[in-house]
């Protein structure tokens, strides 16, 4: 959400003019106004706070009979995006500009926003990697784990008192929600219930509606018997059970949570032939396997309380080192699955990063079970982590 700042009468007037020009798709007026003001202004006096980007899309109305808004609307959106409009800014209705475009059936504008989101996230990640433009860098280093990706929010100068309050809020949120920090999650209490695994903060770590997805992952990664396979993250054991049906020569399981080790023990996984359990975080286990020269035919990754940066580290540092030249790599594609536009952006970002790391990606669409949305399924959980219709299952192989 754009930062709320104290604004003068003059600023409010300028905000109103920018939003109105965006709404009318008046490109010449917008070009002039954007020199004086920001593409992310919000009118604090408006009852339904909306950014210029939201306004430009909302005024297109619903696409009827496949007829979408004209070029002026598309170019207005383009102009705002190229002037720094935030692709995932939220309005008061908790919608991003992409959510609005999708709801109205404005596909061309939606695709434009997805592309902008991909560019913004790639740039943001590059800047973080270079240690640029990140005021929280020191905190992250001291505070062990990086939080989930933050949107490319507008930065503003904050005084020391405000900065302390923000730090405190972040720390409190970590305590309140263990899924925000991988090590905190791994120390927390888990609860196995029928069909669901919950963490201490009532987040659903794994649910059995994902069984078909897990089985398909195993099938797409393991084309024949006798292969060397590794799964990272045991959870409810659904994917490991599916892997077993393909009779691997070696079945490595990396798992970091002590209660999951206990569960593995109770269910006899330690005694299964060819199963090798590595207790610990993959970050600690994998460097040793690389050193030992382990080579695998299939690798699957599905952890919890880790962000996209962790997945990227996983494939660009370790899968490249451990996977056989004709091996296959799969991962649970659930990032941003509570908002279609975020899911689409992260699916594309991962494909680009995977390509850079040397992989081709093929996607298979799987329909999630009907009735998953808003159903009883989520009762007792902190929030639904899945609200969209299609799971995009990735299969990665080395570029030939
Ligand atoms: C979503 S569950 C995996 C579900 C699994 N695919 C299944 O079919 O049931 C994630 C698992 O990853 C484990 N995990 C989380 N972070 C980890 C890490 N850094 N290293 C190893 N295991 C981790 C969790 O304890 C949990 O068991």
What spacing in Å lies between the alpha carbon of 270 and ligand 1's midpoint?
A: 17
Query: Which percentage of the chain shows pLDDT scores above 90?
Result: 78
Does the Cβ of 182 fall within 6 Å of ligand 1? yes
Contact by Cβ (8 Å): 304, 311: no
Is the beta carbon of 214 within 6 A of some atom in ligand 1? Answer: yes
Looking at the domain 205-398, which fold is it? Answer: Rossmann fold (3.40.50)
Give pLDDT, residue 376: 80
Q: Give me the residues paired with residue 204 across strands.
A: 198
* Cβ count near 89 (within 10 Å): 23
- CA atoms in the 13 A half-sphere facing the CB of 325: 1
The Cα 36–Cα 45 span in angstroms is 20
Question: Whose CA is closest to 23, among 50, 48, 4, 62?
Answer: 50
Which residue minimizes the CA distance to atom 3 of ligand 1?
Answer: 235
Q: Which of 58, 54, 20 is nearest to 37 (CA)?
A: 20
For residues 379 and 251, give the distance between their C-alpha atoms in angstroms, rounded to a whole number: 34
Q: Which residues make beta-bridge pairs with 230?
A: 252, 299
Quick one: how many helices (H) and strands (E) in the chain?
A: 16, 10
Reply yes or no on whether the pLDDT at 370 is more than 90: no
Residues 6+ apart with CB under 8 A from 223: none
d(C-alpha 75, C-alpha 28), whole Å:
11
Among 31, 24, 55, residue whose Cα is nearest residue 41:
55
Assess whether the C-beta atom of 260 lies below 6 angstroms from ligand 1: yes
Is the Cα dihedral 122, 124, 129, 132 positive or negative?
positive
Q: What pLDDT was estimated at residue 146?
A: 31
User: Could you say which DSSP state residue 158 is in?
Assistant: -
Please tell me the distance between residue 110's alpha carbon and the centre of ligand 1 in angstroms.
Answer: 33
Mutation to probe ligand 1, out of 180, 241, 256, 277 (largest number of atoms < 8 A from CB): 256
Residues of the chain with CATH 3.40.50.150: 205-398
Q: What is the mean pLDDT of residues 127-155?
A: 48
pLDDT of residue 129: 87
DSSP H or E stretch at residue 137: helix 137-142
> If you measure from the C-alpha of residue 232 to the centroid of ligand 1, how many angstroms do you get, rounded to a whole number?
6
Lowest mean pLDDT among 3-12, 94-103, 294-303: 3-12
Confidence of residue 159 (pLDDT cuts 50, 70, 90): very low
pLDDT per position as a tens digit, 323-369: 999 999 999 999 999 999 999 999 999 999 999 999 999 999 999 99
Say if ligand 1 is within 6 A of residue 238 CB.
Answer: yes
Would you say the CB of residue 234 lies under 6 angstroms from ligand 1? yes
How would you list the strands of the sheet with 191-193, edge to edge?
A: 191-193, 196-198, 204-207
Mean pLDDT of 253-261: 98
For the Cβ of 303 lying below 6 angstroms from any atom of ligand 1, the answer is: yes
Would you say residue 140 has pLDDT above 50? no
- Whose C-alpha lies nearest to ligand 1, atom 14? 303
**How does pLDDT run across 258-288, given as a tens digit for each residue?**
999 999 999 999 999 999 999 999 999 999 9
- At 81, which helix (H) or strand (E)? helix 71-82
**pLDDT confidence of residue 265:** 98
Find how far residue 261's CA is from the centre of its chain.
27
| Dist. CA 267–CA 237, nearest whole Å | 10
- Region(s) of the chain under CATH 1.25.40.20: 9-125
The whole-number pLDDT of residue 138 equals 42
Distances 63 to 272, 359, 370 between C-alpha atoms, Å: 57, 37, 26
CATH number of 9-125: 1.25.40.20
pLDDT at 318: 98
Alpha carbons 15 and 34: distance in angstroms, whole number: 10
Phi, psi of 101 (to 5 degrees): -60, -40
Is ligand 1 within 6 A of the CB of residue 285? Answer: no
Torsion angle defined by CA atoms of residues 334, 335, 337 and 341, in that order, rounded to the nearest 10 degrees:
-140
Ligand 1 nearest-atom number relative to CA 206: 1
Query: What is the model's pLDDT at position 134?
Result: 53
pLDDT at 133 (0 to 100):
66
Amino acid 141: pLDDT: 38
Beta strands (DSSP E) in the chain are: 191-193, 196-198, 204-207, 228-232, 250-255, 275-279, 296-301, 323-331, 359-367, 390-398
For the Cβ of 255 lying below 6 angstroms from any atom of ligand 1, the answer is yes
| CB 68 within 8 Å of CB 101 | no
Which atom from ligand 1 is nearest to the alpha carbon of 306? Answer: 16
Q: How many CB atoms lie within 10 A of CB 19?
A: 23
Report the SS3 class of residue 276. Answer: strand
Q: What is the ipTM of this complex?
A: 1.00
């Amino acid at each position: 959400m754009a930062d709320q700042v104290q604004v003068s009468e003059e600023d409010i007037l300028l905000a109103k003019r920018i939003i109105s020009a965006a709404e009318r798709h008046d490109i010449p007026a917008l070009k002039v106004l954007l020199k004086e003001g920001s593409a992310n202004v919000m009118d604090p006096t408006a009852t339904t706070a909306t950014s210029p980007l939201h306004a430009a899309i909302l005024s297109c109305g619903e696409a009827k009979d496949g007829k979408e808004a004209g070029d002026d609307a598309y170019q207005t959106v383009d102009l705002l995006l190229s002037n720094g409009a935030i692709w995932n800014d939220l309005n008061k209705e908790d919608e991003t500009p992409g959510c609005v475009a999708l709801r109205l059936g404005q596909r061309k504008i939606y695709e434009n926003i997805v592309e902008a989101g991909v560019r913004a996230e790639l740039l943001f990640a590059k800047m973080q990697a270079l240690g640029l433009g990140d005021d929280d860098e020191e905190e992250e280093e001291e505070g062990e784990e990086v939080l989930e990706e933050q949107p490319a929010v507008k930065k503003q100068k904050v005084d020391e008192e405000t900065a302390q309050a923000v730090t405190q809020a972040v720390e409190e949120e970590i305590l309140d929600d263990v899924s925000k920090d991988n090590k905190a999650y791994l120390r927390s209490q888990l609860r196995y219930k029928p069909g669901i695994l919950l963490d201490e903060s009532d987040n659903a770590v794994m649910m059995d509606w994902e069984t078909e997805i897990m089985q398909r992952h195993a099938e797409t990664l393991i084309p024949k018997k006798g292969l060397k396979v590794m799964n990272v993250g045991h959870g409810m054991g659904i994917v490991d059970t599916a892997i077993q049906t393909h009779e691997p020569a070696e079945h490595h399981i990396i798992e970091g949570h002590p209660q999951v080790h206990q569960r593995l023990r109770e269910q006899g996984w330690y005694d299964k032939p060819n199963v090798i359990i590595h207790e610990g975080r993959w970050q600690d286990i994998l460097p040793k396997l690389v050193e030992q020269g382990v080579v695998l035919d299939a690798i699957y990754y599905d952890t919890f309380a880790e962000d996209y940066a962790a997945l990227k580290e996983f494939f660009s540092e370790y899968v490249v080192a451990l996977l056989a030249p004709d091996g296959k790599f799969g991962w649970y594609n659930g990032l941003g699955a509570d908002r279609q536009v975020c899911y689409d952006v992260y699916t594309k970002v991962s494909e680009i990063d995977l390509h850079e790391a040397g992989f081709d990606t093929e996607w298979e669409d799987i329909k999630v079970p009907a009735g998953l949305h808003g159903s009883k399924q989520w009762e007792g959980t902190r929030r639904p982590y899945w609200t969209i219709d299609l799971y995009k299952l990735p299969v990665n192989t080395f570029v030939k």
